[in-house]
Amino acid sequence: MLKNYFKIAIAVLRRRKFFTFISLFGISFTLTILMVATAFINNLVSPGYPDTKRDRSLYITLIEFTSNKGWLNRSGSSYYFLTHYAGTLKTAEKIGIASRAHSSNAYVNNKKLVIDIKYTNQAYWDIAEFQFTEGKPYNQAQINQAQRVAVISERTKLDYFGDVPTVVGKYIEADNIQYRVIGVVKSVPVSSEVFYGNMYLPYTVSKSDYRDHGYQGPYSAILLAPTVADVPKMRNEYQQMVPKIPIPDKDFDHIYSNADTYFGGQVRQLAGSGSKSGMGVFIAGAGLLTLLFLLLPTINLVNINITRIMERSSEIGVRKAFGASSKTLVYQFIVENIILTAIGGLIGVILSILVLHFINSLALIKDLTLSLNLTVLFYSLLACLFFGLLSGVYPAWRMSRLNVVTALKAQ
């Protein structure tokens, strides 16, 4: 039966080539745009280099003070706050701490370089699985002695030293201070806030005083749970602890600090505040936007499908006259429409690969590579199916209500 529908569908598609072109154009381009957007979001949600343990990690990126008078103060946390409070969590296996990347200049042969410096602790290197092309990260002893050692990214290596085989042991100058290079890692895109940097240094050599007992500062933390199952427990433990933290400033009466998933943290920065995670607002907003975007192509497709189906009224009339039920006919037309969207989807996948390739080659965000992986493909398939059903159901229903006599007479 399905094989038959398939044959009919192909025959119909080949009859009115112009309509087929319009339908396929609409479907494939809509899906291309959706797939490219999904690839972006997927890049935010799923684990990637160097953050491969994302599914058992939680991130503390913000600390927020509010007062009933309406004041609000939002920033990163201080090193003291993160070690003193987040550091007491029993569930967490490791706590990686890193500062925000801070821009600094270096001058090589009268050429200016911008170097984004990140200060980290030792656990940071255990949690993030950086790929070292040479050398290794600094160890606890080097941190304790506040040695001026640096791990640099491949990009910095190329910009600063040029195309040389090895740079470990050489010196790099930033802020007029010499640091000894002990490792080179594969570069991270700037969109990956917690991990992006051109030069990584021990927190003990940072110029700001990491011993300062204020709560606010440039640092954020990554909490690593022993297993994925422990993540909710770790989050609960942190959530219960935060309200007990004494508030240092009399002007404020609430303190908010959250251990979020990676995506949750990003959403909170965009849409959240205080105790609200912003996730609902974000999903509603993104969903509404997608629906609005889908609306035009869908209505267009419905229009074309109706036209197409009405053209086949004689066929419908004959089938009805020979006893086909409305249900069978609706089923047939929906299957046909899904076949059409599947073909459109296939073209869409090819187009998306081309578009993503183009976006990657443009390098809008340095070191960011977007790709179509299985997850993105799965969601696209889902979108395809939804799209096919959405644009197929109404015309099929209209068609099934067609009177046999009128349908036959139309011929």
Q: Residue 258 or 298: which CB sits closer to another protein?
A: 298
x-or-dash string of contact with another protein, 261-300, rule CB under 8 A? --------------------------------x-xxx-xx
Least Å distance, CB 214 to another protein, is 13
- Counting Cα atoms < 13 Å in the Cβ hemisphere of 20 gives 14
Q: Retrieve residue 410's tokens.
A: 């139309």
Task: Write the Ramachandran bin of 366: left for phi over 0, alpha for psi from -120 to 50, otherwise beta.
Answer: beta
- Beta-sheet strands, E only, within 76-230: 94-99, 102-108, 111-120, 132-135, 149-153, 171-174, 177-185, 199-202, 219-224
**Count of Cβ atoms closer than 10 Å to residue 130 Cβ:** 21
Give the dihedral sign, CA 154/54/219/81. negative
Q: Residue 27 or 223: which CB sits closer to another protein?
A: 27
Least Å distance, CB 105 to another protein, is 5
Cα separations (Å) of 180 from 61, 100, 177, 183, 389? 29, 21, 10, 9, 61
Which of these segments, 109-117, 153-161, 182-190, 321-329, binds another protein (CB under 8 A)? 109-117
Count of residues in contact with another protein, rule CB under 8 A: 39
Distance of CA 202 to the CA centre of its chain: 29
Q: Residue 110 or 240: which CB sits closer to another protein?
A: 110
Query: What are the helix (H) ranges across 279-372?
Result: 279-311, 313-321, 326-362
Binding-site member from 207, 276, 357, 409 for another protein (CB under 8 A):
207
Tallying the residues shown for the chain, one arrives at: 411
Q: Residue 189 or 264: which CB sits closer to another protein?
A: 189
Q: Does 17 bind another protein (CB under 8 A)?
A: no
Binding-site member from 149, 167, 184, 304 for another protein (CB under 8 A):
304
Q: Does 213 bind another protein (CB under 8 A)?
A: no
- Residues forming contacts to another protein in the complex (CB under 8 A) are 18-19, 21-22, 25-26, 29-30, 33, 102-105, 107, 110-112, 114, 117, 175-176, 207-209, 293, 295-297, 299-304, 306-307, 310-311, 364
